Amino acid sequence: RIARSRHDYQAPAFTIKTMQLSFNLHSTATRVTAVMQVNRETPGAALQLDGQHLTLIAITLDGRKLSAEHYQLSADGLVLPEVPDSFELCIETEIAPQHNTALEGLYMAGNTYCTQCEAEGFRRIMFFPDRPDVLCQYTVTIKADAKTYPYLLSNGNKISDHIDELGLRTVQWHDPFPKPCYLFALVAGDFDLVTDNFITQSGRDVRLELFVDKGAAAKGDFALQALKRAMRWDEQRFNLEYDLDIYMVVAVDFFNMGAMENKGLNIFNSKYVLADAASATDRDYFNIESIIGHEYFHNWTGNRVTCRDWFQLSLKEGLTVFRDQEFSADMGSATLSRIDAVKLIRSAQFAEDASPMAHPIRPEQVLEMNNFYTVTVYDKGAEVIRMLQTLLGRQLFASGLTLYLKRHDGQAATCDDFIRAMQDASGYDLTQFALWYSQSGTPVLTVKQQYDADTKQLSLTLRQETAATADQATKQALLLPIAVELLFADNSRQKQLFCLTDAEQQFVLPDVATEPVVVWLEHFSAPVKLHCQATTEDLLQIAAQASDGVARWDAMQQYWSRQITAVMQGAAVQTVITAELVALLKQWLELPAADLALTAELLTLPDFDTLAEQHDEIPVDAILSALSSIKMFLAQQLREAFLQCLHNLPQPAYRYQQQDVAIRRLRHLCLSYMAQLAEYDVVLQQHYQQADNMTDTIAVLMATQQAGSALFPQLRDDFCQRWQHDALVMDKAFALVATDPADTVFAGIAAMQQHRQFSWKNPNRVRALFSAFSMRNPQQFHRLDGAGYRLLLEAITKLDPINPQVSARLVTPLLSWRRFDKTRQQLMLDALQLLAAQSNLSNDLFEKVSRSLP
């Protein structure tokens, strides 16, 4: 198995300008024909085409049929050693979509044919240079039975559609924009169609079509409205307008990830399209809006300008995540969406940086590209773009983006191209900043402040250090934008942005009348771990007064972390959670801030994963027990305050709307503490029974589950019973079973595997049961008898031959075995070694397992 290196890039030896691709659909014998105009770029080179799981039927070159001695066929492709400089190549293949359980290439999602080609799935459809820097114009013909497949879709504009006397439908599509093959898409099926239109800023009328399962039309409305908001937003914020006359979104039930930005024909996991109040939560609505936005924004950052090679993935993904985050911030609560993003970085991304899979946002070495659609490439990538905007300011940043898109329109570009455009548009020297693309690891930022009352000088000393990571031994100083707010005793405040460029630097502020409390890393201005000397009083003051809601939340996170650490080290809870703190929290609950959701966030303890990242060796049991005793203590101390707060808050009829989301968030926070106390069982039960929307229902279920309440099993069973016919809601039930911290979880998971909605072939189901268990049930996953690890091992073993992309995602928590105590290390290592010993391990799984073994 050969990994590829970023430095080995070579421009394509042949280019292909046009492609006529025809499909004669059949579940086990689909015929695919490609007619390509090929041109030589490198003298003397052989033509190499990627191809996997394909049956080759015929090849013709300039009309002459080639016999076997003219080409070499292998499991990975086709080589034609001697070809002219310019020629027409016609290839016919046969594939079996029905047997394609990897869900890459052309496959069947139930009765629907659909494709997923990114990163390297096109090679499962046709022999082709399956690399993002070969762009061509596609004309696609699809043939299928008209009755069974009323909709035959591909990219671009429909140019013909007819049905012959035998009932065979033939539809042709043409996409005028040259694109790499990873953006090709095809869908055939029967759907409910929801339509709308959008008038662009220049006055063009774009038809919007959303295809959903039969009977689900009403659940598509929110996604369609979100799409229109995204289209408007991109015009207003970045002056980017949609470029085709039609934009289609198809929701399918079998999908490896969230969605895919195929040109003009997005394919979505139905989980991120379908919603109504009864079956979707506030979180689902948020995700739908952000993913609809994300895929739409790719039309410019990804499609019009694509990546030269897959090492550049963050060029489109980091940038597009940043864009979708800005969109979400503008559509709802900027504070809440930023808090969510920061939580993800601090838990999952920091963990990845500390794992054997550590990589820079632009990876250096890849065996299986699908393994690099990571929280580092995506979310740390987005943080890097955000830092750029912070450094340049919104306006120069926008000019840089405009220049980048103009300069590279229609091209396959690199991260360096992006940085160069930003630099040229702004006049900033971004040489040091560019290190963020090549250096992995999480910098630790240590800050000190010193105030001299005589000279009125405030000195701030900043030190950065990045520890070695699995992939990189030595690290350099990065350019860190440090946003700071100074809070003075007289309630005045001052903002400042420092650029830290050295390992250690001192910034001296003159004329500072009194010593301020310093709010560091406002709005999480850089993705670092912060060490600062703030006292607990300082933290509480920041939590009460900082002007940035994220900074207020962050101060409380630091505060809670300290108290949790104290309890872990043996302090009694009642000495750590002081009467003053309880009084303050009471006050917050009695007079919640204008932003109710922020009040809820201030009272939410950091989660297990975030706390884990504060330790080199993760003290599983100590963290869990400190968390639960503090939670119980707070529930007891604030029992009336929670009840009162709950009663004081209105309970508006369900709408997904910012103020209402905030009310629900605070109500649910109260319920999560109240569930700790059996005396409130009646209140919780009532809430469950009266809930007329999924957000409230799930809140009670999660509160009782996490509290280990006796109510939980009965509510969960009721829920499963009620929703047994709805697969997407059953995913929530599967996850509720799998994240139950009780010992009975194993029996529960075993039973759920027999549920008629469960299928090993459906990634949503598998993730709902097994990712939920391994990533959100630390109590049971990390059991000292190893049962949790064994359960995951069995699932991965079963899944790998079916769907390697999903099995490789499942293995992630085991990779970090070095972070645990000796007993757990051994148990996790045993599981990994058993995996490694299996024959026919997929490349996906092999890469991760082999990187993690000693």
Whose Cβ is closer to ligand B3K: residue 227's or residue 546's? 227
Place of tokens 């030896």: 13
118 forms part of the interface with ligand B3K (CB under 6 A)? yes
Cis amide leading into 45 (omega within 30): no
* Torsion angle of C-alpha atoms 215, 218, 222, 223, degrees rounded to 10: 30
- Tell me whether strands 265-269 and 259-260 are parallel, antiparallel or unpaired: antiparallel
Residue 119 binds which one of Zn ion, ligand B3K, none, with CB within 5 to 8 A depending on kind?
A: ligand B3K
Planar angle of CA 288, 232, 422, nearest 5 degrees:
95
Task: Let me know the angle formed at the C-alpha of 804 by 802 and 805, rounded to the nearest 5 degrees.
Answer: 125
- Under DSSP, the state recorded for 767 is I
Question: Does 819 sit near ligand B3K (CB under 6 A)?
Answer: no
Backbone torsions φ then ψ of 499, nearest 5 degrees: -110, 110
Distance CA 773, CA 394 (A): 41
Nearer to ligand B3K, 368 or 417 (CB): 368
**The two three-digit tokens of residue 789, written as one number:** 């690890």
Judge contact between 558 and 539, C-beta under 8 A. yes
Tell me how far apart the alpha carbons of residues 165 and 562 are, in angstroms, rounded to a whole number: 76
317 or 601: whose CB is closer to Zn ion? 317
| Closer residue to ligand B3K in complex, CB, 259/698 | 259
Return the residues of window 52-91 that contact Zn ion according to CB under 5 A. Answer: none
If the CB atoms of residues 337 and 565 are measured against ligand B3K, the closer one turns out to be 337
Shortest Å, Cβ 184 to ligand B3K: 13
Provide the 3-class DSSP secondary structure of residue 528.
coil
Residue 295 touches ligand B3K, criterion: CB under 6 A: yes
- Judged by CB under 6 A, the stretch of 232-240, 290-298, 595-603, 693-701 that binds ligand B3K is 290-298
Cα angle 618-621-623, degrees, rounded to a multiple of 5: 65
Site for Zn ion (CB under 5 A): how many residues? 2
Of 311 and 781, which CB lies nearer to ligand B3K in the complex structure? Answer: 311
Q: For 351-420, give the DSSP string.
A: HHHTSTT---SS-SEESSGGGG--HIIIIIHHHHHHHHHHHH-HHHHHHHHHHHHHHHTTSEE-HHHHHH
Does 371 bind ligand B3K (CB under 6 A)? Our answer is no
Query: Which one of ligand B3K, Zn ion, none interacts with residue 257, CB within 5 to 8 A by kind?
Result: ligand B3K
Report the nearest approach of ligand B3K to the CB of residue 248 (Å). 16
d(CA 16, CA 552): 55
Q: Tell me the number of residues near ligand B3K by CB under 6 A.
A: 12
What minimum distance in Å lies between the beta carbon of 334 and ligand B3K? 22
- Return the number of the residue (306 or 812) whose C-beta is nearest Zn ion: 306
Distance (Å, whole) CA 31 – CA 142: 10
With residues binned 3-state (H G I as helix, E B as strand, rest as coil), the percentages for the chain, rounded to 5, are 45, 20, 35
**What would the x/- binding string for Zn ion be over residues 265 to 304, using CB under 5 A?**
----------------------------------------
Comparison of 310 and 773: residue with beta carbon closer to ligand B3K: 310
The pairing of beta strand 205-212 with beta strand 246-252: parallel
Instruction: Give the one entry of ligand B3K, Zn ion, none that residue 118 binds, where binding means its C-beta sits below a cut-off of 5 to 8 angstroms depending on kind.
Output: ligand B3K
Among 219, 294, 343, 732, binds ligand B3K (CB under 6 A): 294
Tokens representing 75? 């499991």
Under rule CB under 6 A, residue 534 binds ligand B3K = no
Question: Does the protein bind ligand B3K through residue 261 (CB under 6 A)?
Answer: yes
Q: How far, in Å, CA of 510 to CA of 466, rounded?
A: 30
> In the set 89, 227, 257, 274, which binds ligand B3K (CB under 6 A)?
257
Footprint of Zn ion on residues 151-210 (CB under 5 A)?
Answer: none
Q: Which of residues 316-335 bind ligand B3K (CB under 6 A)?
A: 317
Residues between 319 and 338 that touch Zn ion (CB under 5 A): 320
Compare residues 185 and 666 and give the one whose CB is closer to ligand B3K: 185
**Interface pattern 340-379 for Zn ion (x via CB under 5 A):** ----------------------------------------
Q: Output the six-digit token pair for 141.
A: 């013909």
- Answer yes or no whether residue 370 interacts with ligand B3K by CB under 6 A: yes
Instruction: Restricting to residues 479-498, name those near ligand B3K by CB under 6 A.
Output: none
Q: How far is the CB of 119 from ligand B3K (least distance, A)?
A: 5
Point out which span in 291-299, 344-352, 458-466, 667-675 binds ligand B3K (CB under 6 A): 291-299
How far apart are the C-alpha atoms of 444 and 521, rounded to whole Å? Answer: 12
Q: How far is the CB of 510 from ligand B3K (least distance, A)?
A: 47
Strand residues in 148-232 grouped as ranges (E): 151-154, 157-163, 168-179, 186-189, 192-199, 205-212
Catalytic residues: 295
Residues in contact with ligand B3K by CB under 6 A are 118-119, 257, 259-261, 294-295, 298, 317, 370, 373
Residues in contact with Zn ion by CB under 5 A are 317, 320
